[in-house]
Amino acid sequence: MKKVITYGTFDILHYGHLNLLKRAKELGDYLIVGITGEEYDYNRGKLNVTEPLVKRIENVKKTGLADKIIVEEYFGQKIADIQKYEVDIFAIGSDWLGKFDYLKEYCEVVYLERTKGISSTDLRIYKNSILNLGIVGNGRIASRFIPESKYVSGVNIDCVFGRNEEHIKNFSQKFELNNYYTDYTKFLSQIDAVYIATPHNTHYEYAKKAILENKHVLCEKPMVLEAKQAEELFLLAKKHNVILQEAIKTIYSPCFNKLINIAKSGVIGNIKDVSATFTKLVENKNLREFNKSMFGGSVTELSTYPLCAIIKLMGTNYDNISFSSIFDKETGVDIFTKINIEYPNAMATANIGIGVKKEGDLVISGTKGYIYVPAPWWKTEYFEIRFENLSQTQKFFIKYDGDGLRYELADFIKAINAHKNSYKFKNEESICIADIIEKFLLTL
């Protein structure tokens, strides 16, 4: 019996896939189809897949062409599969010409001509149309966002809004954007969605105006500084049928999601304590971070990250919260703060600092063991599950690509196309963070 193997994502199954499967099957008597797993796709930077693995498996199964379906989970698996299943022929579309010649050591390699004029990428575009996203602000984070957007399909960024014409003109030239606006209403009329990357205290007004104009909003963290503002914006977004998402890159990254799922699975028993630290020394006191009137300080700048980990793990229903801070004498902003949160029979601490450095790790302690995520845990790509017996340690790694902003953008686009907010960060979680920041600001 001649065995043939082929691989693909097979997202939105189309006739190009069918042609490929038919011809691959004709090469032998038994066809094995390897379908890429979600984690593997993330690891190789393919963030645009729209259908979950089960759906893609179901679709390939329905063709009746596959004798066996397997899931491709890691780089190098093809060599193992070919040997394990005693495969005679590896077949793949001609878009991969030459890329799999290294498999010739193990079996025959055949490149089948790709069907012209169709791809999953094209179908995603026909189905969802390209989202025109405008950038609000031209600062540091906006400059990191545009290069990251190149890794996400289904989005086009071609304009920026800002108050200083010279600055946004330079920004648009630097990032080859065709348009820049100093008039927010005019800017909004040109786009479908905004990414707000201005100082915190301006987010609320920009987001509200955009929603009222029926634009989707991806807003940098902290989205707002008061719970009632967050509540109002989410209600407004619902009314206007648009997506509002707080841009916390960690929340949308694949390894962080795996970490949360594992922690919640009970593998370390009941979670009793979470300790999350994020410090980033800001040396120039002329920057916004040290400007009290612009809501500078450690909590407003950095607490979103540790709080999102704590809330994802422990929930939004805490009993008590308290803050201890060290303040900068000159500017009055908090340069280091500990947020202590008491839950029924459990606790959590967030340590944040713009003027004090501390190991930036995350420790999740349970009744059977603990999870250790080394610094920088907010760019999650590695963690260990540890127990009393050290030989039981388990290690996990999923690559965190680039600046990570691509993950929040990919989820934002998915949410828009699916007409519902990402399950990865719920509205009440975003509101809870705004509420904690508000509580802290009220102590000042």
Per-residue contact track with ligand CTP, 275 to 304, x per CB under 6 A? ------------------------------
- Cα separation, 22 vs 14, in Å, equals 13
Told to check if 16 binds ligand CTP by CB under 6 A, we report yes
C-beta of 19: minimal distance to ligand CTP in Å? 6
C-beta of 115: minimal distance to ligand CTP in Å? 4
Both tokens assigned to 217: 């909003």
Q: Which residue is nearest to ligand CTP (CB)?
A: 93
Between 20 and 207, name the residue whose CB sits nearer to ligand CTP.
20
Told to check if 355 binds ligand CTP by CB under 6 A, we report no
The residue within the footprint of ligand CTP, chosen from 4, 8, 224, 296 (CB under 6 A), is: 8
- Cα separation, 157 vs 127, in Å, equals 19
Between 120 and 257, name the residue whose CB sits nearer to ligand CTP.
120
C-beta of 46: minimal distance to ligand CTP in Å? 7
Coil, strand or helix: which one is 216?
A: strand
Both tokens assigned to 269: 């028993």
Told to check if 11 binds ligand CTP by CB under 6 A, we report yes
Told to check if 9 binds ligand CTP by CB under 6 A, we report yes
The residue within the footprint of ligand CTP, chosen from 3, 10, 193, 333 (CB under 6 A), is: 10
* Spatial contact of 181 and 187, defined as CB atoms under 8 Å apart: yes
Per-residue contact track with ligand CTP, 75 to 94, x per CB under 6 A? -----------------xx-
The residue within the footprint of ligand CTP, chosen from 5, 20, 65, 66 (CB under 6 A), is: 20
- Cα separation, 290 vs 255, in Å, equals 32
Cβ contacts of 196 within 8 Å, gap of 6 or more:
136, 137, 203, 206, 207, 210, 217, 218, 219, 220
- Cα separation, 404 vs 408, in Å, equals 8
Return the H-helix or E-strand segment holding 34: strand 30-36
Q: Phi/psi zone of residue 230: left (φ > 0), alpha (ψ -120 to 50 degrees), beta? A: alpha
* Spatial contact of 329 and 288, defined as CB atoms under 8 Å apart: no
Between 95 and 101, name the residue whose CB sits nearer to ligand CTP.
95
C-beta of 42: minimal distance to ligand CTP in Å? 14
Per-residue contact track with ligand CTP, 91 to 130, x per CB under 6 A? -xx-x------------------xx--xxxx---------
Told to check if 408 binds ligand CTP by CB under 6 A, we report no
Told to check if 17 binds ligand CTP by CB under 6 A, we report yes
**Size of site (CB under 6 A) for ligand CTP:** 16
Angle subtended at Cα 235 by Cα 253 and Cα 144, rounded to the nearest 5 degrees: 35
Between 154 and 353, name the residue whose CB sits nearer to ligand CTP.
154
End-to-end alpha carbon distance in the chain: 77
Torsion of the alpha carbons at 226, 232, 234 and 238, rounded to the nearest 10: 180
DSSP string, 310-327: HHHHH-S--SEEEEEEEE
Between 74 and 397, name the residue whose CB sits nearer to ligand CTP.
74
Contact set with ligand CTP (CB under 6 A): 8-11, 16-17, 20, 92-93, 95, 114-115, 118-121
